[in-house]
Amino acid sequence: MLRLRNSRVQEKLIAWSGLVVLLIFVFFPSFYLFSFVIRLWPSVYIEVFAHPILGDVYWKEMLRYLSLSLRLSLVTVVIDLLLGVPLAYLLVKRRFEFEGFLEDLTMLPLVIPTSGFGFATMLAWTASYSLPTLFGIRIGLDTVVPVIKIPLLMLIVHVALTFPYVVKTVSGALRDLKASYEVISSSLGAHPLTTFRKVTLPLILPSMFSGAVLALARSLGETGATMIVAGVSTTAPIAIVRWEFENKVAPAAFLGALLVALSLIIIVPTEYLLTPGKKGRRLLPKGLEARLIRLERSTPRSFALLRDTASLAFLMVIVVLPMLMLIYNSALYWASDPYTGRREGSILYQLFGPPRYWDVIMRALTTSLITATLSTLLSVYISILALFLIMRYNIGRFIRVLLKIPLVIPTSALGLSMILLWGPKGLHILNPGLWLIVLTHVVFSVPVIVETSVASYMEANLPIYEDTARSLGATFYDVMETITLPMIKRGIVAGSLLAFTHSLGETGATFIVMGDHTTIAPLIVNMVESLAIPSAIFSSLILIVLSFIMLAIMRKIVG
Amino acid sequence: MMPNIKIIDVHKRFGDVVALNGVTLDVRDGEYVCIIGPSGSGKSTLLKIIAGILKPDKGEIYFDDSLVNDIPIDKRGIGLVMQDILLFPHLNVWENITYSPLVRGLSPLLVDELGNEVIGYLDLALDKRMYPDELSRGAQQKVAIARALTAGPKILLLDEPLGSLDAQTAKEFRYELRRLVKDLKLTAIHITHNQEEAMSIADKVVVLRKGRIEQVGTPLELYTSPKTPFVCRFIGGEANFFEGSIESREGLNAIIKLKGGTLLRTQTDIPSGARVVVALRPEDISLTRRNNASFPGFNSLEGIIEEVHFLGPYLRYVVDTEEGLVIVRAKRSARFMKGEEVTLSFNVFHIFPYPKEGLRKAIAYE
Ligand SMILES: Nc1ncnc2c1ncn2[C@@H]1O[C@H](COP(=O)(O)OP(=O)(O)OP(=O)(O)O)[C@@H](O)[C@H]1O
Ligand SMILES: [Mg+2]
C-alpha cells in the first residue's frame, strides 16, 4: 500500500516537473515575442508606425516583405502538391529495386543543412556549367518569375526544402489507405485516373492538406537557404535577421510576432479541424463530371509511366543535381580558380594558404557538433518528461498539438525571441554564444523527438502493457524502466538523430544567437556573402556528407 | 454447355510461401460454386487471380474459352464483393451504387435507370442519401452487392461476403444471395470457411487445402463420399476417427479391426493387411441402453456416457469406449444420463487408406 502511494507521488512529481520544464524551455521562448511586443507596445508603435523622421516606413517595408513571403509560400505549396503527390504515389505503389534509396533522397532536404543546400542549388542553376546554360538560358539571383513576381531561385529552393512534407504525409496516407478501395473501383470499370480522382484523392485529402500546411509554415519561416539565394530581394525572415543585426529591435520583434501569429493561424485550426474521411458533397456539376470521365477514359494507360518518369526527373533536378554540382565544383575549384586560373581562388589555397579557412571551418564544425550534441541530450530528457505527460494525462493531446508550434515558428523569429528572453536585453542570464545556441535548438528539437516517439508509442499500444505491469505490482520507476522506455527507445533514437541533424544545419535562429561562436551552417552564409566561394563549396560538401551519414545511421536503426 | 470459367494448373507463391500449388477447376455457366478451406489455404489468392488482382506465376485462366491472363481487372466483366465490404466512405448509398455506370461514362439517364433497377432486385429499403457508416453491416453488404451488380458483370466473385455479418443475418442473407445470382443468371464463386454456408447454397463445392484442391463435388457427394479424411472432417462438422487395419477379406467384403479390438464389417477394395482410417459421423451412430443379453457383434461399440451437451434440436454425447472417446449426436427423444452404459451401433462410415503424413496431420485444420 505504501509502495503504491509512493509511486503515485513520484508520478505526480514527474508530471509537474515535465510541465514546468516544457513551459520554460519550449513554450515560453515560442511565445515570448508576443509578450515582448505587448509590453513595449508604445515604443514599438512609435518605431514602426509613427517614427518622428521615418514615419511608417518600417510598416510599409514589413508589408512588402510579408507580401513576398506569403506569395512565395503559397506558390511553393501549390508546386509541392503538384509534384509531391505523384512522387508519393510512385514511392508507395511501385515496387522497384532502389526504393529505399529513392525514399532517402526524397527525405534528404529535411535533414540537410539549409544554407549548404541553398548554396548547392545556386551553383546548380547559376554557375557557368549549370543545367540552364546547356539550353542557352541564363539564370541569376535577379531572375524573377513574371506575373507572381517571385525570384526564381528562391522558389526553387523553397520547393526543394518543403516538398518532402507533402510526400511524407501523402505517402503515409497512401500506405494506410486500403488498396482494396482502388481495386474495387477498377473492378467497377473505372479508369485509373478516374479511380484516383473519385476514390483515392478524397480519402487522402486530409493528409495532403496537413502536409501542405507544414510546407507552408516551413516556407514562411525559411531563412538559411533563402539568405543565400536572396540577392536583392528580402523576405520577412531575412528582414528580421537584418534588423536584429542593425539593432532595430522593435521592428524586428514586431515582424517576428506577426510571422509567428501567421503560422499559428495556419496550423492550429487545421490540427483540430482535420478529421479523415469527411463526407464529400458533390463538387462538380453533372455535365462537367461526365466530360471529365470521358477525358480520363481516353487517356492511354501509359500515362502512369509518364507520371513516374516526370516525378523521377523532378527529384533528380531539384535534389540530386545540386549535390552533383557541389561535388563537380569542388573538383573544379580544388587546385585553382577554373576561370581565372589563379591559385588564390582554389579550395586548397583558401583552406591551407594564408586565409586559413581550414581552421575557421574546423572551429565552426566543432562548435556545431558540441551544440548539436548538448541540445539533443537536453532535448531527450525534456522529451521523456513530455512523453510521460502526453501518454498518461488528458492534457497530453493539447500538449501534442502545442508542440507542433515550435516546428513552424520562423527560425529567425525564434532566434530573436531567444535573445530577447535570455540575453542581455532580457533576463540577462545568457550572452549570445554556445549555451544560447543550445537552448534555441532545444526549442525545435523537443517537438521533433516527441512526435517521432509518440508515433511508436501509439503503434506499440503501450498503455495496456503499462497498466498490466502496474496491476502486477510494479512501481512507477519499474514500469518506466522495464516497459515504457525500452519500447519507445527506437522512436526516441530516431527522433534524436533527426533533431541532431536539424541542429547541425540550423541557420536562421543560430545566426542571431551565436555571437562569436559561429557554427558551420551560418558560416556558409558568411562565406557566400564575402564571396569566399571555394570555402563555401567545401563546407557545404562536408555538411551534406555528414547528413548523408546521419540518414544512413537512421535507416539502420529505424529499419 | 460450354464452361464459363476454366482454371488450368495455376501456381502462385509469395516468397517462400506456396499459396497455390497447381489448381485446376472448371466452373460452368450459371453455376454457384463455393470454395471452402481452412485459413491460409489459398482461397483468396485463387479469387484474386480469377479477378485479375494478382497474376499467377504459372497457369491459365479462361473466361468463355478466351485467355484472360493479361486482361486488366476493369475489363474482365466481374463483380467483386469482399468481406471488408469496402463501400466508398465518402460517397452515399446512391453514389456508391451508381459508381460503375457513372465512371464507365454511361449517360445520366442510363445511370439512374441501372441504379433503380438494381435497388429493385435487392429490396433495399433505406434512404439513398445515407452514408455507409450510418448503415448496419448487413445493409452495407447489400449495398456493396448492388454496387457490384450495376457494373453488369457475368461473374460474381465473393470473398467471404457474409464473414463480417452477425450469424443470424448471415444465415438469412445467404439464401437471398443465391436466389439473386440465379435470377440474374450469373456465375458465382463464393469463398467461405463456413462449411454449413457452402453446403446450403452451392451447386458445387471446392475444398481447398494447402494450395491444392482436395475434392470437388456437389454438397451431397462431399458429404456421402469424401475422398480424404480431411474432407470428411471439414464437410459436415465433427467426425470420429479411428485407426485400424483390414483383418480379412473375401471379394469386396472385408473385416476391419480397430486399435481397441472392435470389428467392423464393410465393403472395400483396400487389400488385406493394409492400415486404414475409419471415419464415423456422430449423426450416423445410434445409441441404445446396454442390454445384458446382447453380445459384442460387428459394427457396434460399448461405452459409458461421459458428457451430455444440450444443443437445441439434438443432444451431443461424449461416450467413453474401447476405441477412445466417441462423439454421438442423437435426437432428444431418448435421453441418457452421465454414467449410463450404452451400446453404439452404426452402419454408415467411411474408410480411407492410412495417410502417409499420419492421421493427426491429415485432418488438421491448418
Ligand atoms: N500479399 C501476400 N504476401 C505474402 N504472403 C501472402 C500474401 N497473400 C497471401 N499470402 C499467403 O498465402 C497463403 C494463402 O493466403 P490466402 O489469403 O489466399 O488464404 P485464405 O485461404 O484466403 O485464408 P483466410 O481464410 O485466412 O482468408 C497464406 O499463407 C498467406 O499468408
Ligand atoms: Mg481470405
The CATH number of the domain holding residue B54 is 3.40.50.300
| B286 within 8 A of B330, measured Cβ to Cβ | yes
Alpha-carbon gap, residue A67 to A236, rounded angstroms: 8
Quote the pLDDT of residue A1.
43
Instruction: Read off the pLDDT of each residue in B272-285 and give the average, rounded to a whole number.
Output: 93
C-alpha closest to that of A538 among A558, A517, A554, A524 = A524
Residue located nearest, by CA, to atom 29 of ligand 1: B40
Let me know: does A491 contact A456? Beta carbons within 8 Å: yes
> Who has greater pLDDT, A56 or B216?
B216
Q: What are phi and psi of A390, to 5 degrees?
A: -65, -35
Q: To test the ligand 1 pocket, which listed residue (B43, B50, B158) has its Cβ within 8 A of the most ligand atoms?
A: B43
Residues B75 and B207 grouped into a single domain: yes
Do residues B157 and B81 touch, judged by C-beta distance below 8 A?
A: yes
Query: What is the rounded CA–CA span in Å between residue A532 and residue A540?
Result: 12
Distance in angstroms (rounded) separating the CA atoms of residues B339 and B306:
6
Ligand 1 centroid distance, CA of B10 (Å): 15
Three-class SS of residue A371?
helix
* Ligand with smallest separation from the Cα of B36: 1
Say if B90 is an interface residue toward chain A (CB within 8 Å). yes
- Contact in structure between A210 and A229 (CB atoms under 8 Å): no
| Distance of alpha carbon A229 from alpha carbon A528, whole angstroms | 10
Is pLDDT larger for residue B211 or for residue A557? B211
pLDDT of chain A, 559 residues: tens digit per residue: 445 556 678 778 888 888 999 999 999 988 888 888 888 888 888 887 878 788 788 888 899 999 999 999 999 999 999 999 999 988 888 777 777 788 888 888 877 788 888 888 888 888 777 777 777 777 777 777 777 778 888 999 999 999 988 898 888 888 877 778 999 999 999 998 999 999 998 888 877 887 888 788 889 888 888 988 887 888 999 998 889 888 888 888 899 899 888 888 877 776 666 554 445 555 677 778 888 888 988 888 888 888 888 988 998 888 888 888 888 888 888 888 877 888 888 888 888 888 888 899 999 999 999 999 999 999 999 998 888 888 778 787 788 878 878 877 888 888 989 988 998 878 888 888 889 999 999 999 998 888 778 766 665 555 666 667 666 767 766 776 777 777 677 778 878 888 888 888 888 889 889 888 889 888 988 888 888 888 888 888 888 888 788 777 777 776 5
B221, with CB counted inside 10 A (0-12, 13-18, 19+), is middle
Which of A166, A20, A145 minimizes the C-alpha distance to A85? A166
Of B272, B273, B294, nearest to B344 by C-alpha is B294
Instruction: Tell me the ligand closest to B12's alpha carbon.
Output: 1
Would the pLDDT of B89 be above 90? no
Model-wide pTM > 0.90: no
B307 and B342 share a domain?
yes
CATH number at residue B311: 2.40.50.100
Name the residue at shortest CA distance from atom 19 of ligand 1: B40
Same domain, B93 and B201: yes
* B129 shares a domain with B82: yes
Residue B248 domain flag = no
Cell of A11: 508520478
CB B33 within 8 A of CB B188: yes
Side-chain-side CA neighbours of residue A470 (13 Å): 14
Q: How confident is the model at residue B129 (pLDDT cuts 50, 70, 90)?
A: confident
B241-279 as b/e, with b when 16 or more CB fall inside 10 Å? bbbbebeebeeeebebebeeebebebebebeeeeebbbb
Q: How far apart are CA A89 and CA A196, in angstroms?
A: 10
Classified by CATH at the fold level, domain A1-39+345-559 comes out as: MetI-like fold (1.10.3720)
Provide the shortest C-alpha distance from residue B56 to chain A (in Å): 17
| % of chain B residues with pLDDT over 70 | 98
CA distance linking residue B37 with residue B230, whole number of Å: 10
In a domain, B265, yes or no: yes
Q: Are residues B188 and B223 in the same domain?
A: yes
Backbone angles phi, psi at B211, to 5 degrees: 75, 10
Read off the amino acid at residue B13. Answer: R
In angstroms and rounded to an integer, the radius of gyration of the C-alpha atoms of chain A is 25
pLDDT in tens, B327-351: 999 887 778 899 999 999 998 889 9
Q: Has residue B319 been placed in a domain? A: yes
Cα–chain center distance at A215 = 8
Residue B196 lies in a domain: yes
Q: Looking at this protein, which amino acid is placed at residue A109?
A: P
Q: What is the pLDDT of residues B90-100, one digit of tens each?
A: 899 999 999 99
Do B291 and B150 lie in one domain? The reply is no
Q: What is d(CA B227, CA B221) in angstroms, rounded to the nearest whole number?
A: 10
B328 φ, ψ to 5°? -130, 140
Is residue B222 located within the same domain as residue B269? no
DSSP A151-168: EHHHHHHHHHHHHHHHHH
User: Domain end: B167, B202, B234, which one?
Assistant: B234
Contact B74 A187 (CB under 8 A): yes
Our count of domains for chain B comes to 2
Residue B258 backbone dihedrals phi, psi, to 5 degrees: -80, 170
pLDDT digit string (tens) for B48-75? 999 999 999 999 999 998 999 999 888 8
The domain segmentation of chain A, as residue ranges, is 1-39+345-559
- Single out the residue in B234, B267, B293 at which a domain terminates: B234
Of A189, A278, A293, the CB nearest to B74: A189
Question: Could you tell me the residue range of the domain that residue B134 belongs to?
Answer: 5-234
**DSSP string computed for A243-298:** HHHTT-HHHHHHHHHHHHHHHHHHHHHHHHH--TTPPPPP-S-HHHHHHHHHHHHT
Residue A247, sorted as left (phi over 0), alpha (psi -120 to 50) or beta, turns out to be left
B78 touches chain A (CB under 8 A): yes
Statement to judge: residues B183 and B305 lie in one domain: no
Q: Per the domain annotation, does B121 fall within a domain?
A: yes
Helix (H, G, I), strand (E, B) or coil at B49: helix
**Distance in angstroms (rounded) separating the CA atoms of residues A453 and B1:** 63
Classify residue A433 as left (phi > 0), alpha (psi -120 to 50) or beta. left
Task: Establish if B298 touches chain A: CB-CB under 8 angstroms.
Answer: no
CA–CA distance, A158 with A72 (Å, rounded to integer): 8
Task: Tell me which residue of B92, B7, B4, B47 sits closest to B189, measured CA to CA.
Answer: B47
Q: How many other C-beta atoms can be found within 10 angstroms of the C-beta atom of residue B210? A: 16
Cβ–Cβ of B73/A188 closer than 8 Å? Answer: no
Cβ neighbours, 10 Å, residue A269: 11
Decide if B110 touches A, using CB distance below 8 A: no
End-to-end CA distance of chain B: 37
Work out whether the CA dihedral A228, A232, A237, A239 comes out positive or negative. Answer: positive
DSSP code string of A3-59: HHHHHHHHHHHHHHHHHHHHIIIIIHHHHHHHHHHHHTHHHHHHHHH-BTTTBTHHH
Tell me, using a 6 A CB cutoff, whether residue B17 lines ligand 1. Answer: yes
| Angstroms from B104 CA to nearest CA on chain A | 6
Structural domain includes residue B241: no
Are residues B121 and B66 located together in one domain of the fold? Answer: yes
The verdict on the CB of residue B53 being under 6 Å from ligand 1 is no
Indicate whether B206 and B259 sit together in one domain. Answer: no
Q: What is the ipTM of this complex?
A: 0.84
pLDDT value, residue A277: 46
DSSP run (H or E) holding A451:
helix A434-460
Let me know: does B331 contact B314? Beta carbons within 8 Å: yes
In this structure, are B284 and B183 located in the same domain? no
In this structure, which ligand is nearest to the CA of B43? Answer: 1
The reply to whether B243 falls in a domain is: no
Cα dihedral A317→A320→A325→A328 (10° resolution): -140
CA dist., res. A231 & res. A225, Å (int): 12
Are B226 and B262 in the same domain?
no
Question: Who contacts B64 (Cβ-Cβ below 8 Å, separation ≥6)?
Answer: B2, B4
Return the residue whose CA atom lies nearest to atom 25 of ligand 1: B39
Q: Is B352 helix (H, G, I), strand (E, B) or coil?
A: strand
Question: Best interface-test mutation with B: which of A176, A180, A187 has the largest number of B CBs within 10 A?
Answer: A187
Q: Is residue B355 part of a domain?
A: yes
